[in-house]
Structure 1
């Protein structure tokens, strides 16, 4: 797959993978800022990823300042897709999105349910990034490493492509 992954294929793999395994590390794109685990709900048609947060967290307060750039680092549970995506962060109280993505796991963080005064949404407008895709699996990866060591070549473990998601 090396050198054969097009931006369109990489983008499709990222969005499909995010549906199945939607947790990554999200943070401000600033030196010294630590990212935190967040669960994202992707909308490929708009290039948007939605995150539930509490408005009393440092992260949400920093995003609320406005004009913040963010970075979402992602690795699928099956390790087939990895990505590092850059974009704009903003606070959004879109009730339709709250209804759409509300689930028992999200509800656990908000004692007063969908009307909890601390409930907020963080909107991540994905702009660009890099996506790595490997369909080799653990056995295929091992084979590629062994082959590379025996033949003094580098392993073919997948492809990488820069993407424009907006």
Structure 2
């Protein structure tokens, strides 16, 4: 991105656009010894809230339900490897919401809930993002390796793209 400076607004737009296309990342509490786990993210466009489905018998659901919410991190890498993000926010258990369940329900989710949308173990997690760091590398995989090869030949540093801190509140 040497010809263009990445702005926070551009990075945020790239993140949300890519998350819509490829919505799996790693979600975990921001605590020592806690490991993130693969989760599918569903962004509510109107509010910017990210929703996750889980079962109430998981560690993540149990731990997110302590108090009014927990500090958490969502790590994301787009399928085309042009956007990477580490997003901080608050993770909490959300009240059951039939409208959200209907909106995001799909066959993959259904596999985890044998009793369907009314499964008593179905739990919604609410992630309210506050800030993060986003990396954007236009050109993806091939551009990256071009930059590496060019750097080795010219003895200069590669241009991996832009990185910027964002405020998502």
TM bucket normalised to smaller? over 0.9
Please list, as runs of the form range in 1=range in 2, the aligned pairs for 1:36-47 lying within 5 A after superposition: 36-47=37-48
TM-score (norm 1): 0.96
Structure 1 residues 165 and 44, CA gap change in structure 2 (3 angstroms): farther
User: Helix, strand or coil for the counterpart of 1:11?
Assistant: helix
CA contact under 8 A between 1:71 and 1:84: conserved in structure 2? Answer: yes
Q: Which residue of 2 is the match for residue 146 of structure 1?
A: 149
Bigger shift: residues 103-112 or 150-159: 150-159
Structure 2: segments with no counterpart, 5+ residues: none
What count of residue pairs does the alignment treat as equivalent? Answer: 166
Inter-partner Cα distance in structure 2 for 1:141 and 1:68 = 36
- Please state how far the C-alpha of 1:137 moved relative to its aligned partner: 2.5
User: Helix, strand or coil for the counterpart of 1:145?
Assistant: helix
Q: Which residue of 1 is the match for residue 106 of structure 2?
A: 103
Q: 1:83 aligns with which of 61, 81, 85?
A: 85
CA contact under 8 A between 1:136 and 1:157: conserved in structure 2? Answer: no
- Please state how far the C-alpha of 1:142 moved relative to its aligned partner: 1.6
Inter-partner Cα distance in structure 2 for 1:54 and 1:165 = 27
- Please state how far the C-alpha of 1:44 moved relative to its aligned partner: 4.3
- Please state how far the C-alpha of 1:140 moved relative to its aligned partner: 1.7
- Please state how far the C-alpha of 1:136 moved relative to its aligned partner: 1.9
Bigger shift: residues 141-150 or 42-51: 42-51
After the TM superposition, which parts of structure 1 deviate over 4 Å for at least 4 consecutive aligned residues?
A: none
Inter-partner Cα distance in structure 2 for 1:161 and 1:151 = 27
Inter-partner Cα distance in structure 2 for 1:59 and 1:17 = 25
- Please state how far the C-alpha of 1:47 moved relative to its aligned partner: 2.4
TM-score (norm 2): 0.94
Inter-partner Cα distance in structure 2 for 1:133 and 1:44 = 21
User: Helix, strand or coil for the counterpart of 2:9?
Assistant: helix
